[in-house]
Amino acid sequence: MDTIQLLDTFRFLEKVSDFNEDTEYDPADQPHIDRLITLSKEKDQKAIVEDFNKPFLHSMVTIQQHVEELKELVARELAARQPEIE
């Protein structure tokens, strides 16, 4: 995933954070959800990955429950890519 995709996903998380429980699933958001699942796995975020893997629990619910942790995760990944941006 590239830096632009990460920035878009961070904006998505900001939107979820603003609306949180009122956020509804939009199929157009699926790429963000997929990136968050991938990043959570890559960064060994066990609790978040476990929630993403729970049957009958929609990924948006997991994102709503862990939105602040996910924002931090994406922010750290963006900071690690800082030389790429410059």
Q: Position 17: which residue type?
A: S
pLDDT at 22: 73
CB 74 within 8 A of CB 9: yes
List the domain boundaries for the chain. Answer: 3-85
**What is the per-residue pLDDT across 37-58, written as a single tens digit (0 to 9) for each?**
999 999 999 999 999 999 888 8
Answering whether pTM is above 0.75, one says yes
Q: Round to the nearest angstrom and report the end-to-end CA distance of the chain.
A: 18
Q: Within the chain, which residues score under 70 in pLDDT?
A: 20, 83-86
